Chain A
């Protein structure tokens, strides 16, 4: 017998011994049906979303979940406006998820298809989680594979002419550990590494560079690397307060091979009232530096091999203030439903950019404010997000 199989057999023996200490069984969540509506307004964009989710157990071990989501986009963000094009589009996302429990192991397999006129994405996800050590610890592992077809609308909003520009693939590897620390405190850490290849640029963004005519600047095509790898680690903890309320705190660190480093910190507070209402408040702060090949304006055309002026890659911060109310309007149930709730969620997100300028202010004549290329005010906008959803449990 070769050395490799002998090592493998020893490792398998150790794994089998480890799994022997597992006893009892995990439990699937309740069956539910959700009807969801959302609205996003900000930065020139107006997006409404509608979604339906149904989750059904077919036995104590096996559940199926289906979700349909449709986003309707109108308007255009600031950097799309700089190209003088306005967008009207729809994104339809369908997903099917299968969940299977064996003993204390939960297996999840899902498939998602997302289709826009100019972007098609197919995603397969597999994960498993294992409860262990008296159910105080849960370890999870996940793998996601996405294949995307990227296009550009060279026509108008009403008469699209799509040019398919290329493909990209994305693979994600995720590991997580959740730990019950005390009877009031639970904490978890998740690590995710995502690796992309292919056409990764956003065709609707343009770089700009100093040019004498006609405006003092000209626009050019973005050039991105063909590979991208990112690492994100999130740690969070949730505490049950003495008077039936919960507070949670999370922190996420992100970095990638494009030079972006980001920090996210979030605090959440949940307060039930009179067994019929749950109020939730959330604040979130996010900051990132710019990608190594990002510039608001480049010194000249073809200044470097990779060039981007996508606001997502600029230095930025944003702050979120979120308020949510859930009303259990049918605590005794109705028809086939054991109980039902309706939720209202209002979110304000304030985006500020550190090196992405508002090109709409450009006017190098004194009457127009005197902003020369590269000296316009920094871009900032506020977005409002509204969500209303009905959840019925059966």
Chain B
């Protein structure tokens, strides 16, 4: 019984996801010129962004969720 309920839940979930396909994007492709402007990029300069993340990570107790992967100790 529980297995059948789980199957129905999965099918309903799939229906919901497929329903989302029919959602018309409320920002049309031709309305995205501003979002495509380089000043709207999250990380215009990868080296500079990764470097500053390393500066902070070497001196703070926190880390992560900044989108960079790298290495190094920063021990000194």
Contacts and interface: CB of A to CB of B under 8 A. Distances in A.
B25 to A, nearest CB: 3
A159 interface: no
A36 B27 contact: no
A260 B62 contact: yes
Interface string A287-330: 01001000000000000000000011100101000000000000
Contact of A278 (B3, B35, B39): B39
A110 B37 contact: no
A119 B73 contact: yes
Given A93-B71, A112-B70, A180-B35, A194 B64 contact: yes
B51 A387 contact: yes
B21 A20 contact: yes
Interface string A167-204: 00000101010001011101010111110000000111
Interface string A93-107: 101000000000000
Contact of B39 (A91, A245, A345): A245
Given A133-B23, A186-B40, A270-B39, A286 B52 contact: no
B48 A21 contact: no
Contacts, number: 202
B61 A312 contact: yes
A135 interface: yes
A288 B62 contact: yes
A352 interface: no
B4 interface: no
A281 interface: no
Contacts of B21: 20-21, 133
A236 B45 CA distance: 18
Interface stretch (A73-81, A213-221, A357-365, A366-374): A73-81
Contacts of A389: 45, 47-48
Contacts of A61: none
A312 B59 contact: yes
Nearest to B24: A134
Interface residues on B, range: 35 or more
B39 A246 contact: yes
Given A232-B64, A278-B39, A10 B10 contact: yes
Contacts of B60: 262, 286, 288, 312, 316, 318
A36 B76 contact: no
A143 to B, nearest CB: 10
Given A14-B14, A232-B62, A119 B72 contact: yes
B65 interface: yes
A372 to B, nearest CB: 27
Nearest to A245: B39
B14 A18 contact: yes
A287 to B, nearest CB: 10
Contacts of A176: 67
Given A21-B20, A93-B70, 18 more contacts: A10-B10, A51-B51, A112-B71, A114-B71, A116-B73, A183-B35, A184-B34, A202-B73, A203-B75, A240-B37, A244-B37, A252-B62, A286-B56, A311-B59, A312-B59, A345-B48, A385-B55, A389-B47
Interface of B: 3, 7, 10, 13-14, 17-18, 20-21, 23-27, 29, 31-32, 34-35, 37, 39-40, 42, 45-48, 51-52, 55-56, 58-67, 69-73, 75-76
Interface of A: 3, 10-11, 13-14, 17-18, 20-21, 34, 36, 38, 40, 45, 49, 51, 53, 67, 69, 71, 73, 76-77, 80, 87, 89, 91, 93, 95, 110, 112-114, 116, 118-119, 121-123, 125, 133-136, 142, 144, 146, 148, 150, 172, 174, 176, 180, 182-184, 186, 188, 190-194, 202-204, 230-234, 236, 238, 240, 244-246, 252, 254, 256, 258, 260, 262, 264, 270, 272, 278, 286, 288, 291, 311-313, 316, 318, 343, 345, 347, 349, 351, 385, 387, 389, 391
